Amino acid sequence: MATLNSKPYLSEELALQMAQAALEKARELSIHIAVAIVDDGGNLKVFVRMDRAPLLSSRVSQDKAYTAASFNRPTREWYPRMEANPQLLHGLNKLDRMNILTGGLPIRHEGHLIGGIGVSGGTGEQDELCSQAGIDRLNELLGQ
């Protein structure tokens, strides 16, 4: 008999809490950001753009989240890989929604990819700190 496997998924309540944590971190860093959270299929769950965040950060944050979820790896890992491989640099980097800027992280729970979070508006390092704050909030809420 065939069975279906079950896996955790990212609820809107958890995604909202993650976005709130990213915004809190941005305020602590005195930056204005956009934060996007997608599910494991790359579908937008939550998006917020702070007042005075750069307009382009809206699209960039969503693309960072999508890229992190698509490949189950932080966006910061892509440039070093592409730099040494021209085929990757000139191939993957031209895909719609691919973003290799630092600030996108996969969201995982119990070994499962459940989404991605992307932040844009600060430096790459600041963006990733904000994304990590969202991940940390999720882990805190789930008791990890």
Local confidence band at 6 (pLDDT 50, 70, 90 cut-offs): confident
Q: pLDDT confidence of 2, banded at 50, 70, 90?
A: confident
User: For position 19, what pLDDT does the model report?
Assistant: 98
Beta strands in the chain (DSSP E): 34-39, 44-49, 104-109, 112-120
What value does the mean pLDDT take over residues 130-137?
Answer: 98
Q: Let me know how long the chain is.
A: 144
pLDDT band for 85, please (50, 70, 90 cuts): confident
Give the max Cα distance, the chain.
57
Contact 107, 114 (CB under 8 A): yes
The yes-or-no verdict on residue 89 having pLDDT over 80 is no
The overall average pLDDT reported for the chain is 94
Number of helices (H), then strands (E), in the chain: 5, 4
Closest CA to 29 of 102, 142, 117, 130: 130
pTM: 0.94
- When pLDDT is averaged across residues 99-106 and rounded to a whole number, the result is 96
User: Which pair of structure tokens corresponds to residue 122?
Assistant: 């600060």
